[in-house]
Amino acid sequence: MQILVRCPKCNAGLPIGASDSSAQIACGACGREIPLDVSEEIRADRAVDRCPQCAGADFYIRKDFDPKLGVAVVAAAAIISGGCFFYGRDAIAYGVLASAVVLDLVIYRFLGTVTVCYRCHSEFRGRYPRTASGFDLHTADVLEQEYERRIGRR
Ligand SMILES: [Zn+2]
Ligand SMILES: [Zn+2]
């Protein structure tokens, strides 16, 4: 399992491998030492049961979508179809735009999912079975506030 630990101080994402993680990492951006408590389940890629960073046990699932990829597909299509419009090839231009939309949908459809910690927003990627449910705004509000009070951000 791969974990993207969120630094509680500067919010930088710090990628670590769950199986070879140490008890503490230093944030590459701000230098803060972040103690980690990686559970057996996470180490073995069996389940995400307890967040190694904040010890929370509340997670949600979201699509592992990189917005940069979606933007790149659309931007490339816009450039190509722009050229086609310029040379009067309207049918091809529309075709390119339509396939970009379809391609985005296909990418989205086959994306994996990532488990995210409600409190500190650390992310978990691996082959473990997903048991968390989708994002719930109310839960997020409550847990984020609790966490931010605890680390003194509010
Ligand atoms: Zn940091
Ligand atoms: Zn957490």
Averaged pLDDT for residues 10-25: 89
Q: Where are the alpha helices (DSSP H) in 110-136?
A: none
The H or E element that residue 72 is part of is helix 67-86
Q: What is the pLDDT of residue 58?
A: 97
Q: How confident is the model at residue 70 (pLDDT cuts 50, 70, 90)?
A: confident
Q: Return the ligand number nearest the Cα of 8.
A: 1
Residue 146 has pLDDT above 70, yes or no: yes
Q: How far is the CA of 113 from the centre of ligand 2 (A)?
A: 17
Q: Return the ligand number nearest the Cα of 42.
A: 2
Q: Return the ligand number nearest the Cα of 25.
A: 1
Give the end-to-end CA distance of the chain in Å, rounded to a whole number: 32
Q: Return the ligand number nearest the Cα of 120.
A: 2
Q: How far is the CA of 154 from the centre of ligand 2 (A)?
A: 17
Averaged pLDDT for residues 92-100: 93
Q: How far is the CA of 26 from the centre of ligand 1 (A)?
A: 8
3-state DSSP assignment of residue 4 = strand
Q: What is the pLDDT of residue 5?
A: 95
Residue 72 has pLDDT above 70, yes or no: yes
**127-140 exposure pattern, b = at least 16 Cβ within 10 A, e = fewer:** ebeeebeeeeeeeb
Q: What mean pLDDT is reported for the chain?
A: 92
Q: Return the ligand number nearest the Cα of 148.
A: 2
Alpha-carbon torsion angle 89, 91, 95, 101, nearest 10: 100
Residue 89 has pLDDT above 80, yes or no: yes
Q: Which residue has the tokens 């529309």?
A: 94
Residue 154 has pLDDT above 70, yes or no: no
Q: How far is the CA of 75 from the centre of ligand 1 (A)?
A: 32
Averaged pLDDT for residues 26-33: 94
Q: In angstroms, rounded to a whole number, what is the distance separating the alpha carbons of residues 135 and 118?
A: 9
Contact 154, 144 (CB under 8 A): no
Q: Which of 12-16, 46-50, 109-113 has the lowest mean pLDDT?
A: 109-113
Q: How far is the CA of 24 from the centre of ligand 1 (A)?
A: 13
Residue 21 has pLDDT above 80, yes or no: no
Q: Return the ligand number nearest the Cα of 51.
A: 2
Instruction: Please give the model's pTM, rounded to 2 decimal places.
Output: 0.79
Percent of the chain with pLDDT over 70: 99
Q: In angstroms, rounded to a whole number, what is the distance separating the alpha carbons of residues 36 and 23?
A: 5
Q: Which residue has the tokens 């979606």?
A: 70
Residue 55's region, left for phi above 0, alpha for psi from -120 to 50, else beta, is left
